[in-house]
Amino acid sequence: MTKVPSVIHWFRLDLRIHDNLALRNAINEAENRKHLLRAVYVIDPDIIKTKVGVNRLKFLLQSLQNLDENLRKLNSCLYVIRGKATEELPKLFDKWQVKFLTTQVDIDPEYVNQDVIIEKVAEEKDIFIVKRVQHTVFDVHSVLKKNNGAIPLTYQKFLSLVTDIQVKECIEITKKLSDHCKAPEKDLKGYEVPKLDEFLDESALEPCKYPGGETEALKRLHMYMAKKQWVCQFEKPNTSPNSIEPSTTVLSPYISHGCLSVKLFYHKLKEAESGSKHSQPPVSLMGQLMWREFYYTAGAGAKNFDKMVGNPVCTQIPWGKNDEHLKAWAEGRTGYPFVDAIMRQLKQEGWIHHLARHMVACFLTRGDLWISWEEGAKVFEDYLLDYDWSLNAGNWMWLSASAFFYKYFRVYSPVAFGKKTDKEGLFIRKYVPELKKYPTAFIYEPWKAPKSVQVSAGCIVGEGYPKRIVDHDKIHKENMQKMAAAYRANKEKKAIKRPRS
C-alpha cells in the first residue's frame, strides 16, 4: 500500500496553538494536499545533560505535555523526537514522505546552524519550507535593514526604528484537523512526550512554582491584564527584587519557551493602556517587552553576541579567573546574605526578579569578583526558566558595563540595595535559613554581629555560614580602577584603528 505523504510543523520556541501562523500554514497545506499532518518537537538528550538545568527541563516537559493536550483538541498530537535535529529529521523526511515543512525564524546560532543543514537536505529532497517570524513582535532583520544594517546601540535608537511599524493581529486556529489528515495512532509509538523521570529523579526537585505550558501562560496573562490600573501604573524600578511573592508578572518563562505569543502580550498591553494615563518605556510593561526586542535585534546583527572576543559591540575587558569564587557565587555561598539568597532562589525556583539579576551580575563581574560575564551567563543558562539566548547575553553585557551601559562606577551594594525594599530581611530569612534567627541589625551583615549574638542565633560565621569571600567596600573601588583602565585601553585601540582623514 502506498504511504500518504506528510506535512510537518517543527515546534521549537513556539510551544503553543494560539497565534502560531506556521502551524496554521501546516494544517492548511495538509488539508489542501490531503496529506497527513505531523507536529514534531526534537529533544536532544545530550543538550539536556549539559545545558538545561532541572527546573528548566521540568518546565519544558510540562509545556510539551500541555502542547500535546491542546493539539489533541485539534484532532492531532505531538511527536517528540529524541536525538539531534540535523540527524533525525532527514530520516523522518524519508520515513514519512514529507513534502512540506513549517517552522519559525530564530536568531540563536544553534537554531540558525540547524536551519542551514535542514534546508540543504530539504532542497535535495524537494521539500518546501515555510518559516514564520513568531518569537518576536517585530521582524528583527527588517529592523536592522531599516537602520542600514547597523545595530542600534541604544534603547532609544531602537524605539525610533520601530515606532511606526504596524504589528499584525494575532491569528487563531479554530478548525479541527480532518480525520483523513490525522496520522495513524500506531505511528506515535516511540515518539510520546517523555516523562521527567526519564532524565532525572523528580523527587529531588522543589515543588513547582511556575508550571509550564500554554494553558498556564494564557491564564497568567489574563489574570494580570485584568488589572488595568496595575498595568498602567507599572514601573519596573518601583517593584521589589526581594519580595517573597513576585512583584512582576513572571510571564517571561512562558514567552521564552513560546508558550505565550509575545505579539498577543503586546496587543493586550495596548488594550490595557488605551484611553488611560500610563507609564512609559523603558520602565513600563511595554517598555520591558521592548527591551526584549532591542536585545533580539542586537543579537541578530552582532557576530559572537554571546561572547566577548570577536563581538563588535562588546568592550574587551581583562577579566580574572577564580573557580572557587565562581562556584561560591553560583551556589549562594559568598558570605553576603542578599547575594546568596538571590542565587539560592534562582537555583530552587528557576526565576529571580530582574533587579535581583542586576545585583548578582554586578557582584560577579565589575562590582566584586571580577569574573567574566560569560561565566555568569552560563550559570543563568542552566538555572533560569526564562533563559533566552539574546536576552541573557545582552543583559550580562549591560550589567558588566561591557556594552549598552557604560556607567561602570554605579555599583550595587550587596548590603544597602536589598535594605531598600526589605529592611527586616524576610527574603534572606527564607532563602538563607541558617540566618533566620539573626537580629535585623545584622541580617545583611552577619560578620558584624558579636560572637554572643551569633551563638544565640545558632549560626557562627565561618562555621554555619561562610565568611565573606571579598570585602565589598575595598574591592569594588579597586575594580572601578580596573574598569577605567580597560575603557582607556579600548578607546586607545579604537583610535589607532581609526583611519586618518
Lowest mean pLDDT among 47-56, 95-104, 294-303: 47-56
Asked if the model's pLDDT at residue 500 lies above 60, the reply is: no
Average pLDDT rounded to a whole number, residues 367-394: 97
Asked if the model's pLDDT at residue 275 lies above 70, the reply is: yes
pLDDT of residue 190: 94
User: Using CB atoms within 10 A of its CB, is residue 32 exposed (0-12), middle (13-18) or buried (19+)?
Assistant: exposed
In the chain, what percentage of residues exceed pLDDT 90? 90
**Banded model confidence at residue 131, pLDDT cuts 50, 70, 90:** very high
CATH number for the domain formed by residue range(s) 1-133: 3.40.50.620
**Banded model confidence at residue 358, pLDDT cuts 50, 70, 90:** very high
Asked if the model's pLDDT at residue 271 lies above 90, the reply is: yes
Question: Domain spanning 323-489: which CATH class is it, in words?
Answer: mainly alpha
Cβ atoms within 10 Å, residue 212: 27
- pTM strictly above 0.85: yes
pLDDT of residue 497: 67
Q: Which residues pair with 36 in a beta bridge?
A: 6
Name the residue ranges covered by the structural domains of the chain.
1-133, 136-169+214-301, 323-489
Q: How far is CA 268 from the centre of its chain?
A: 21
Q: Which residues pair with 9 in a beta bridge?
A: 39, 102
Tell me which residue of 491, 329, 342 sits closest to 418, measured CA to CA.
342
Question: Per-residue pLDDT tens for 291-339?
Answer: 999 999 999 999 999 999 999 999 999 999 999 999 999 999 999 999 9
pLDDT of residue 355: 96
Question: Per-residue pLDDT tens for 439-497?
Answer: 999 999 999 999 999 999 999 999 999 999 999 999 999 999 999 999 999 988 877 76
Average pLDDT rounded to a whole number, residues 98-104: 97
CATH number for the domain formed by residue range(s) 136-169+214-301: 1.25.40.80
Question: What is the distance between the alpha carbons of residues 372 and 380, in angstroms, rounded to a whole number?
Answer: 13
Asked if the model's pLDDT at residue 260 lies above 90, the reply is: yes
